[in-house]
Structure 1
């Protein structure tokens, strides 16, 4: 059967089409195989990267945990010493515990969480403080801190724990 061209004349089969189609198909198969190989390589590289990143993150966590634990060892040593001397001089135990408490606060400060106690009369800020109680205002302005009952550590976005404070409440009318 003879094919019709767009201008209405009869067009015969293209004599070179069969060989060219076969060659083009072979080139396309080769290109597809190359792209599939590159895709598999990229997928394998991504999986290896994911595993390596997970291992590195775990190693970093372990190193940081060990560093923090080492920071606390002198505190434990001094608590042991205080307990050994507790029976011989009860007054010394109080002094020793104060020193150990200061040492523990210094460890937290080195870890990026300095001790924070706001002065009485400072404005209460719910983003920085935790109100644990309220009292009638008395000598303090309403909405200000009357007393810090629990020390806070850290500040801003790096707040480990806000200070627990007693807040002056407005006088009932």
Structure 2
């Protein structure tokens, strides 16, 4: 027995594999190629899911706007009917006003709040000028009356409010 064998125990285990300098064989190349194709397909699927979700959200928003726009003539007609009913019968006008408010609430539930504030600065994103009056007590370009209700917000406008504003200075 030589000195190198003293105190050592031999095992049947082979030494850990070290990366070889050999070129990869055909199986390794095919495996890497298949793995790359799988990763690309998974990324394509993820992109398709995201695109479909965006398109669905846009389609829902467009349908919501289309459904809400159907209510606009109803609200306008109820406005006219309430104004006429006030000249004929106040109780009838109150009942019609209640129905008008229900129609407006339906638009608000669809995500289009009413635009009817008076005394606020004119905002071209949500207002449409239908008339201009002299300044009077209000600052220039102030909404003094709402001729037609508007619905929405600057980001999601269904219809701008038709407003009467004070004249600008100059």
Distance in 2, matches of 1:125 and 1:56, equals 33
**1:107 matched to which residue of 2?**
106
Contiguous gaps of at least 5 residues in structure 2: 1-20, 75-87
Q: TM-score, normalised by structure 1?
A: 0.53
- 1:112 is displaced (CA, Å) by 2.6
CA contact (8 A) 2:126 2:150 kept: no
- Equivalences for 1:143-154 in 2 at 5 Å? 143-154=141-152
Residues 1:125 and 2:123 are matched in the alignment: yes
The Cα RMSD (Å) is 4.1
Q: Does 1:166 align with 2:164?
A: yes
Q: Which residue of 2 aligns with 1:98?
A: 97
TM-score, with length taken from structure 2: 0.53
Contact 1:136 1:171 in 2 (8 A): no
CA deviations on 1:84-141 (whole Å, 9 max, x unpaired) are: xxxxxx968766543332111101222232212112x432233442223322324543
Which runs of structure 2 are paired with 1:2-151 in the superposition (5 Å)? 24-25=22-23, 27=24, 29-53=26-50, 97-119=96-118, 121-151=119-149
Q: Determine the C-alpha separation between the residues in 2 that align with 1:58 and 1:51.
A: 10
Deviation (angstroms), 1:38: 0.8
Determine the C-alpha separation between the residues in 2 that align with 1:37 and 1:24.
21
* 1:116–1:151 contact (8 Å) kept in structure 2: yes
Q: 51-60 vs 149-158, which deviates more?
A: 51-60
* Equivalent residue, structure 2, for 1:9: none
The alignment partner of 1:24 has SS state of: coil
Name the CA shift for 1:60/1:135 in 2 (closer, same or farther; >3 Å): closer
SS in 2 for 1:148: strand
Structure 1 gap ranges (5+): 1-22, 77-89
Mapped partners of 2:148, 2:59: distance in 1: 31
Give the Å deviation of 1:169. Answer: 0.9
